[in-house]
Structures are given as C-alpha cells and as structure tokens.
Amino acid sequence: MSTLWDTTGSDVVKALSAERRSAGALAFGLALTLVVVTDQQSVEEAEKAATAAAAAHPCRLLMVIRRHSDAPDPRLDAEILIGGRLGPGEAVVMRMYGRLALHAESVTLPLLAPDAPVVTWWHDEPPEKIAFDPLGIFADRRITDCGRCPDAMAALQQRAMDYAPGDTDLAWTRTTNWRSLIAAAFDSTSESPTSATVHGPTTPATALLVGWLRSRLGVDVDLSETRGNDINEVRVQLEGDRQLILRRNDSRTASLSLPDRGERIQPLSNRDLGDLLAEEVRRLDSDEVYADALSAWTGVEGLSDRSPFRTHIWRDPAQERAAEEPESDGDRARAGQAS
C-alpha cells in the first residue's frame, strides 16, 4: 500500500504500476474497471459495497471522492492498495479538492484498465444529467441509486428523461428477487392475469416493479401505498376471480400462494449494497427490460432507441452560483479557462 499526499495523476499511475510489480500481480486478469463516485460522509459504506462486488468480479477499483469543490487550490491525495482492505484486486482511492473535482476524468482516464469495460457507480445523488459528469461519459455502464436522492420519485422520473442504453439503477436491482419469484410462480400456472396490485412504499423499487408488471403483462397494475421500507406484497388477479399472492413474511422469506396449491414459503432475502452492486457489474450490456419497466412507470417512451453515447455538457457549479450572485465574475473567467 502506498499513500500519496498532494500528488499528481502521473505519480498515481507510476505508484500503481510499482505496486503491481511488487505484488507480483502483473498478469492479473482485469475484467473491468469500477469507478465509484461518492461523498466523504458515505465513503465507508461505498467502500464496503465495492469491496464485496470486487470480490465477485475482479476489477480495478477507482474511488473518486470529491471534496470542497470551492477550495481555492486544486489538490489530489491518493491511496493505492493491492490485495488489501478493498478486496483482492487493485484499488486507488482518490480525494480531489478544489476545481480538480470538476476534472476528475483527468486523473481517472489514465488509470482505466486497458481495453476493459468501465462501470461508473454514483453512490450518492447522481448528476441531474449523467452528461454533466465526465466520469459518466467514458463508462460503458452507469449505475445510479435513486433511492438515495432527497426526492427519490422525481429522481426516477429524471432517470427516464436522461436515460441512455447502459444506464441502470439499483432500485431495479432491488426488484430482482421479487421478479424471480413472481416469474417462477407463473411458470407453473397457465392462467392469464387480468390485473395486479403491488403493495409497498412509494419508492423507485416499488415503482419499477409496477412498471415491469405493466410492461410484461399488459394489464392494469396499481401501486397501493403501505408503510415500511420495502415492497410488501404483490397480488395478481387471474381469470375467474382467482389470485396469485406473494407476500413478504420477514427479512428473509416470503409466502407464495397459488390458486389450488396452498401456501408455500420461499426465500426472499434483503440483499446488501455489495450484493446489488455485484449483480449490476455481472452484466455489461444495456438492460432493455429495465428500460421497458422505467418507460412503463414514467410514461417516457422510446428509451431503448436512444444513443448509448453521451457528449459531455460542461456545467460549473461556481458559474451557477455566480449567476445567482452577479458579484464574483473572476471565478467565472477562471472557470471558462479551466473548461
């Protein structure tokens, strides 16, 4: 492990290759680069999840922590670990201060594993438009987490507006277990559904499950608001006033009742962030089923037809602040040069 204070991007690249050589990991099979964007206060949580995901899918892990973007001088601190605290692979934790935070790609680009896919995950609130963040531009897969935004449902709507193939949201990953059980239940019944209701809190995950059922079944699917943090129950009306009910019992199991078959207990565990992230990085192509579900919930159409490529849109928080307070024009000039 080496720690570099107030360093440069080139020194980080050199330190990484020196670490690799001394660890004897030159032939390390890198399947992908995972870029994690997070705030200082949630670093620990993000590190834990990324470590779990890296254990499942060996990758080069780049943690980008942006701090004090209004600090007067740009500064980079970096920590390089191989086979240490952050899992079996290589990890670089970078703290970027001042205006460097707006140009994080200048440090991360040379650190990407050669010709391997890049996944960027915003642990906290993602940029309003992914294109605002250069770390989202070069990524093949972009993972957001609407559930962590202050107004989660508005964020989900925004994800649909801003969607490009290759985007997914962890709210969608949270529905996988539910979806597997419901799909398996339908394997053993040939009855056609007429309508369905999802009982759960109004969260992006519930919304996406509703969206998925709408897009797949083509029938009315309602969201019935309940309290708690997690989806509670899915009830599908079948022909002839019969019902298929999947209800969560506790944090690990659910009961499934099918017409004429009685009730059965099925595993339905709450997964932690690491598991969710590991599921996300398993697939590196775009998830059209997610696009369909998102489209069905939000009403935004043609998601899969969009281009998977984005062009960076320069947006400077200092400039925006300056626009609100017309006094500080010096900053604007500097921002213009920096871009």
* Mode of pairing for the β-strands spanning 2-4 and 75-84: antiparallel
Q: Which of 13, 52, 71, 217 binds other proteins (CB under 8 A)?
A: 217
Residue 221 within binding range of other proteins, rule CB under 8 A:
no
Using CB under 8 A as the binding rule, whether residue 118 contacts other proteins is answered as no
Q: Tell me the site size for other proteins, rule CB under 8 A.
A: 44
Q: Is 256 exposed, middle or buried (0-12, 13-18, 19+ CB in 10 A)?
A: buried
Residue 56 or 153 having the CB closest to other proteins: 56
Cβ atoms < 10 Å from Cβ of 37: 23
Q: Which 8-state DSSP code applies to residue 217?
A: H
- Does residue number 183 form part of the binding site for other proteins (CB under 8 A)? yes
Is 308 near other proteins (CB under 8 A)?
no
Contact yes or no for 34/121 (Cβ under 8 A):
yes
Question: Under the criterion CB under 8 A, does residue 27 sit at the interface with other proteins?
Answer: yes
Tell me if 21 contacts other proteins by CB under 8 A.
Answer: no
Structural tokens at position 101: 């935070």
Q: How far is the CB of 13 from other proteins (least distance, A)?
A: 21
Decide if 131 contacts 105 (C-beta within 8 A). no
Q: Does 237 bind other proteins (CB under 8 A)?
A: no
Tokens of residue 334, six digits: 């500097």
> Which contiguous run of DSSP H or E holds residue 292?
helix 288-298
Question: What whole-number distance in Å separates Cα of residue 102 and Cα of residue 313?
Answer: 12
When asked if residue 58 is in the footprint of other proteins (CB under 8 A), the reply is: yes
Cα–Cα distance, 164 to 207 (Å, whole number): 19
Q: Quote the least distance from Cβ 29 to other proteins, whole Å.
A: 4
Answer for which of 148, 253, 259, 312 binds other proteins (CB under 8 A) is 253
Output 65 or 276, the one with its CB closest to other proteins: 276
CB-based contact 158:298 (threshold 8 Å): no
Residue 228 CB, shortest distance to other proteins, in Å, is 20
Amino acid type, 277: L
Minimum distance of other proteins from residue 264's CB (angstroms): 5
Does residue 28 interact with other proteins by CB under 8 A? yes
Q: Which tokens hold the place of 199? A: 């009982």
Nearer to other proteins, 138 or 186 (CB): 186
User: Residue 108: which of 31, 16, 2, 43 has the closest Cα?
Assistant: 16
Q: How far apart are CA 52 and CA 41, in angstroms?
A: 19
When asked if residue 288 is in the footprint of other proteins (CB under 8 A), the reply is yes
Piece of the chain touching other proteins by CB under 8 A; list 34-42, 67-75, 118-126, 282-290: 282-290
Q: How many CA atoms lie within 13 A of 170 on its CB side?
A: 24
Name which of 11 and 285 has its Cβ closer to other proteins.
285
> Contact with other proteins (CB under 8 A): which of 289, 300, 335, 338?
289
**Candidate segments 53-61, 65-73, 124-132, 134-142, binder of other proteins by CB under 8 A:** 53-61
174 binds other proteins (CB under 8 A): no
Alpha carbon distance 83, 90 (integer Å): 6
> Which residues sit at the interface with other proteins, rule CB under 8 A?
27-31, 55-58, 88, 176-177, 179-188, 190, 213, 216-218, 252-253, 256, 258, 261-262, 264-267, 278-279, 282-283, 287-289
